[in-house]
């Protein structure tokens, strides 16, 4: 199965977070880092973003 890669606007839409929040969380190690697809092109594997969202959802359900 081929994993799609999401550019930043799609990651923002999927997570509901701002660009600065995404990059801040990446620097803290709490959000997946993108992969380099070219010299100035990065994207996030869709599965990494989906797994991160699923973990957040699970943590929220456990905390409730």
Number of domains within the chain: 1
Q: Which residue range is the domain that position 51 belongs to?
A: 5-63
Can you tell me the distance from the alpha carbon of 62 to that of 20, in angstroms, rounded to the nearest whole number?
27
Say if residue 61's pLDDT is above 90.
no
pTM of the model: 0.86
Mean pLDDT, residues 8-27 taken together: 98
| Residue predicted with more confidence, 58 or 34 | 34
Residue with tokens 């456990």: 62
Q: Which residues contact 47 (CB under 8 A, 6 or more apart)?
A: 3
**Which of the four pLDDT bands, split at 50, 70 and 90, describes residue 36?**
very high
Going by pLDDT thresholds of 50, 70 and 90, the confidence category of residue 62 is: confident
């Amino acid at each position: 199965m081929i994993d799609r890669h999401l550019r930043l606007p799609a990651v923002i839409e999927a997570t509901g977070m701002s660009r600065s929040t995404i990059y801040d969380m990446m620097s803290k190690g709490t959000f997946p880092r993108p992969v380099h697809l070219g010299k100035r092109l990065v994207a996030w594997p869709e599965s990494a973003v989906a797994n991160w969202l699923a973990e957040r959802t699970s943590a929220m359900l456990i905390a409730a």
